[in-house]
Amino acid sequence: MSTGGSERLEPTDDPADAEIVEEKDGEAASLLDSPEFTAWKSSYLHERLPSLFLDGTLKIIEANDTFCKTYACEPRMSGVYFTQFYAPYFNEKRSADLFRSVRSAGKGFMWLGRVEKIAMDKLLNVSKVWIIPMRQSPGDLPHAYSAVCLDLTDEHRQLLQSTFTSLLYAARQKDNDTGNHVERVNRYSRALAQDLVGRPEAPMVDTEFVETIGLVAALHDVGKIGTPDDILNKAGKLEAWEWTVMKQHTTNGAYILSTYPHPMAQEIALRHHERWDGSGYPYGLSEELIPISARIVAIADVYDALRMRRAYKEALTHEQVLGQMSGESGTHFDPFLVTRFMAIAEAFRAIFSELADPA
């Protein structure tokens, strides 16, 4: 990325730049003996707030004790830039905004922003970060910075929880036939996701994924807020035009959740009725084009729907449901997820029993 001068602000793989990179590495090493580094150590090395000492290109020179404990990293990360450490959160635009600020006298050579990264506990850590210059001379570009992180994780999770609670309350008031259905879907989804952690077939499922789906799966049918009551609660079979209206709860849900703080909620609402063979709705996506979060919730939702007694159907037993869903592996459901569902099916049975609807 060019800044109008010869100084490089981001890492390079170009052999022609070898001399520049070597020179910068030498400058970084010399900073360890500088007054700026001494000042940073005295202020931040044992401070309870995570902090970094950065060179003029925002390469990490040293991390303090708290930062290392938060992210399970070493104090010195040779050649690692601030934006690399927080990848993939820093896309091209965010990186450009960051470097523009720290190179701008009009902004005080400072940057205040938000970053996200999975921490040592395998959960998402959300922080507000101040990057400030260290002992700059007037008119000169800083050659060292400190970055101080304020943990916003609890506030972020509280925002998710409060928004979730409000939306779920509205959905429950609208659809009187759900009972404990939404909470069971949450629990099923969490159990299935937990089983996937560490499996090579589902590399994207980690502890943070499990925590998130265990919260937002309950919002899968929030779009029914926009479905007319006479269609939503109809005892008999829906007419063709009524079924068209009913299916709109997926796109309605995606719209309602478009500003929800976590994108998984929207993708589940929109995609949980897509089918592995492409015969689902609203867009007829197939196989891995369907997000794995929605594929998980599809299994959880259908299992619970089949177990429930409704005005237009009798409840099936656990064994009957397993037989039916096994037969839809590769058509309705992801075959691998069906295999894992079958392996932990007793957990589904236990959840249904624990959260059974009143007779």
CATH of the domain at 207: 1.10.3210.10
Residue 8 within a domain: no
In the chain, alpha helices (H):
18-31, 35-44, 65-71, 82-85, 92-102, 153-174, 181-196, 207-216, 229-232, 240-247, 249-256, 263-271, 292-307, 318-327, 335-343, 345-354
What pLDDT digit, counting tens, does each position of 108-153 carry? 788 888 888 887 777 777 788 888 888 666 667 888 998 888 776 6
Please check whether residues 99 and 201 belong to one and the same domain.
no
Please check whether residues 231 and 335 belong to one and the same domain.
yes
Please check whether residues 94 and 209 belong to one and the same domain.
no
What pLDDT digit, counting tens, does each position of 224-233 carry? 887 887 887 7
pLDDT band at 31 (very low <50, low <70, confident <90, very high): confident
Q: Which of 151, 167, 186 is the last residue of a domain?
A: 151
| Nearest CA among 291, 166, 261 for reference residue 222 | 166
Please check whether residues 147 and 179 belong to one and the same domain.
no
- Of 122, 128, 174, 224, the catalytic one is 224
Q: What is the pLDDT of residue 135?
A: 67
Residue 1 within a domain: no
Q: Which of 123, 151, 179 is the last residue of a domain?
A: 151
Which whole number is the average pLDDT over 90-98? 90
Please check whether residues 160 and 120 belong to one and the same domain.
no
Phi, psi dihedrals of residue 75, rounded to the nearest 5°: -60, -35
Q: Does the annotation mark 69 as catalytic?
A: no
Please check whether residues 48 and 159 belong to one and the same domain.
no
Please check whether residues 67 and 85 belong to one and the same domain.
yes
What pLDDT digit, counting tens, does each position of 243-292 carry? 999 999 999 888 888 777 678 888 999 999 999 999 999 999 999 999 99
DSSP 259-315: TSSSHHHHHHHHHTT--TTS--SSS---GGGS-HHHHHHHHHHHHHHHHS-BTTBPP
- Burial of 76 from C-beta contacts in 10 A (0-12 / 13-18 / 19+): middle
Q: How many structural domains are present in the chain?
A: 2
Assigned token pair, 201: 């077939």
Residue 281 within a domain: yes
pLDDT band at 4 (very low <50, low <70, confident <90, very high): very low
Give CA torsion, residues 172, 175, 176, 180, to 10 deg: -50
Q: How far apart are alpha carbons 114 and 152 in whole angstroms?
A: 9
Residue 24 confidence (pLDDT) above 70: no
Please give the residue range of the domain that contains residue 281.
155-354
Mean pLDDT estimate for the chain: 82
Query: Is the CB of residue 296 less than 8 Å from the CB of residue 189?
Result: yes
Q: Which of 117, 135, 151 is the last residue of a domain?
A: 151
Query: Is the CB of residue 242 less than 8 Å from the CB of residue 220?
Result: no
